[in-house]
Amino acid sequence: MKLGFVGLGQMGKPMALNLLKSGKELIVYDQRPNSYLEFEEQGARVAKGLQDVAEADIIFCSLPNSEVVHQVLLGEEGLKQALRTGQIIVDTSTIKYNTTLDIAKELAARGVEFLDAPVSGMEARAKEGTLTMMCGGKQELFTKVTPYLQWMANKILYMGNSGSGQLTKLINQLLFDINGAALAEILPMSIKLGLDPEKVGEVVNSGTGRSYASEFFIPKILEGNFTEGYPMKHAYKDLVSGVEISSSLCIPMPVLCAATTTYQIALLKGLGDRDKGGMIGVFEDLLQVQYRKSTGKGGLG
């Protein structure tokens, strides 16, 4: 069994390194040559071009968005011309539901199996191999590739037909986005009213207001650290997908729409390179306060 991995970014690199521990031959590809050194040192084969990855029996992808995934798999210079009947594509990227269905259909017409398997968890969990993975596709295909998925994730769930993994990931992401937007709105208010930021954070993270977002972001916001999560400019695609589903199926999502507005303002203010904790900058600027360890006073003036 020969494995391939396309996309060695923030999440893809640690996932591929863990997959290498399976002992199977691994071919890796990324557009950035500086991604290869660690793989070469550990015995992986570095592809000279994208087409080299098509030698693999199972090809994993970890790519930034729907357009890139489609280009890599089905574009004129992508893998489609070199793919063969019986190969398996496992896409761990987070992409649009409709794009997933289109890719699965086109690959099936070529005799290629497809599993959408987006992951939840940040870079630290990718390094530990403790991601959560949500999978959509044929159940027998899911069973076949699970032994390889287990090198990258410790919670692996079969969600149903093609696209089900992406829908499940989207639900999780939207809830996370809403939590992040809520923190951005409420925490600066506490400083404006003269409360101590560290004590507020302690209460939130030990009380009923806590969430994974609060536990992860509040300590980092207090330190002014906005670089340890996924950049907002890349994560915005999840909100777009949520709003598209809301519009196309006439499903009211007022709280999501409000969170999306905060997100959009953050991007327009040039905060897109920050992680989602960086949304707090929107309301910090509005109220002229900062939620930081060094700021114990905000006052009403």
Active site residues per annotation:
169
Helix (H, G, I), strand (E, B) or coil at 298: coil
What separation in angstroms does the CA of 241 have from each of 14, 66, 164, 235, 236?
Answer: 26, 11, 14, 11, 9
Whole-number Cα distances in Å, 52 to 4, 19, 57, 74, 268? 9, 18, 12, 15, 40
- CA distances from residue 202 to 44, 177, 190, 267, 271 in whole angstroms, order as listed: 45, 21, 13, 29, 26
| Cα 80 to Cα 107: distance, rounded to the nearest angstrom | 8
How far apart (Å, rounded) are the C-alpha atoms in residues 190 and 224?
A: 17
CA–CA separation, 163 and 64 (whole Å): 17
Strands 45-46 and 25-29: parallel
Amino acid (one-letter) located at 168? T
Tokens of 136: 């959509």
